Amino acid sequence: MSLLEVRGLKKYFPIKSGVLKRTTGHVYAVDDISFSIDKGETLGLVGESGCGKSTTGRAVLRLIQATGGSVTFDGTDVMAASRGEMQRLRRDMQIIFQDPYASLNPRKRVRHIIGEPLDIHGIGTEAERKRQVFELLETVGLSAEHAERYPHEFSGGQRQRIGVARALALHPRLIICDEPVSALDVSIRAQIINLLEDLQEEMGLTYVFIAHDLSVVKHLSDRVAVMYLGKIVEISDSNLLYDRPQHPYTEALLSAVPIPDPETERSRRRIILEGDVPSPANPPKGCVFHPRCPRAQEVCTTAMPRLAVSGEAGDRHEVACFFPTRYEDGKRTVSDTPFEGASLGAADAPPIGED
């Protein structure tokens, strides 16, 4: 059974205007997304800024209240969890933030930052907690003598290690990594990524890895979900997605990644998307990607395609597109007739804008 199961998750932020603060519209930050992660797996969540990746992470942890949908962690319904249940769940689900400068309280010593979760959950005695903090520091490649220092005395990479140590303090099973390396120097990035990988191996951790850097995600993830404007447009096993992208948006994203080989790089075919990402407050009707899609046809403007397996049956590769790329005998083809799987049930989908 999967460790984390997300079904139809929605988060709409109300837009309020006027003196009376009436709700005049919604930002559809996350609009009906579903995915599941098995224990020990890493799910990469990629997409441009503002596509709802971080909001998804926060909603899963109930840092923000989701508008709809369900999140099930190891059989427990996170959305409906009572205070006590939530407190137990908190031990199992943690988060590592993007900005190691904002995520550590500048007024607290490292010992208190890492020890706070232990303290709150009343784990061990004072002395045991202190020892655990030292162990955690060593686990993340720092040393016990760092415990008495303040965050500003550390470099970005070291701070991120402290953030990792804090996330590990309660021995969680799931860690949501919200762009943990995008604020770091390229040279430091690899260190943190390797640290995360090692920890996963040692502790059997499950990660949701949110990033906009496709190569980092490819390196780490078992499965990858591509998000666009609050929706998952393609989700698949990592190597399948990178080798055989089916959604035109995924293809465009992948084509933008430089290849570290001058020969191939020169022949790299780049797909340049026209226009900007539409505002999530006013998403396009039909497929959210259609205004920028080179393949868009009439059907795309009327209905949002649903995630479905379009390639070989049994593939763990789903795409939300009426005209997905197919790979037959190694040849790349795009059908002219709309893919039926994508429209199934589209009529039952609730109209956008309803809470």
Partner 1 sequence: MRLLFSDRLACVGVALIVVVLMVGLLAPYLAPYPEQGRGQSNLTERFEAPNGQHLLGTDNYGRDVLSRIIYGARIPLVMGGAVLIGCLGVGVPLGGVAGYYGGRVDEAIMRVTDVFLAFPSVLLAIALVAFIGPSLKNTAIALIICWWPWYARLVRGITVSTRTRQYVESARVSGVSNLTVVRRHILPATIGPVVVSASLDLGAVIISAAALSFIGLGAQPPTAEWGLMMNEGRPYILDAWWIATFPALAMFVLVLSTNLLGDGLRDALDPRSIR
Provide the binding-site residues for partner 1, judged by CB under 8 A: 58, 61, 63, 86-87, 90-91, 93-95, 97, 99, 102-107, 113, 116-117, 120-121, 150, 152, 163, 166-167, 169-170
CA dihedral defined by 209, 212, 217, 221, rounded to 10 degrees?
40
- The least distance separating partner 1 from the CB of residue 164, rounded to whole angstroms, comes to 11
Of 9 and 61, nearer to partner 1 (C-beta) is 61
| 13 vs 327, beta carbon nearer partner 1 | 13
Minimum distance from residue 12 beta carbon to partner 1 (Å): 18
Instruction: Tell me how far, at minimum, the Cβ of 97 lies from partner 1, in Å.
Output: 5
Shortest distance, position 106 Cβ to partner 1, whole Å: 5
- Indicate the residue among 211 and 293 with the shorter CB distance to partner 1: 211
3-state secondary structure of 209: strand
Nearer to partner 1, 23 or 215 (CB): 23
In the bound state with partner 1, the residue whose beta carbon lies nearer, of 87 and 301, is 87
Please tell me the distance from the alpha carbon of residue 81 to that of residue 84, in angstroms, as a whole number.
8
Compute the least distance from the CB of residue 290 to partner 1, in Å.
35
Nearer to partner 1, 169 or 220 (CB): 169
Q: If DSSP codes are grouped into helix, strand and coil, which group holds residue 195?
A: helix
CA distance 58 to 76: 17
User: Between the CA of residue 85 and those of 36, 95, 168, 331, what are the distances in Å?
Assistant: 21, 18, 20, 51
Contact 13, 66 (CB under 8 A): no
Q: 44 vs 9, 15, 70, 156, 311, CA distance in Å?
A: 17, 30, 20, 23, 21
Nearest approach, Cβ of residue 167 and partner 1 (Å):
8
210/178 Cα distance (integer angstroms): 5
**Core vs surface per residue 181-196: b (16+ CB within 10 A) or e:** bebbeeebbebbbebb
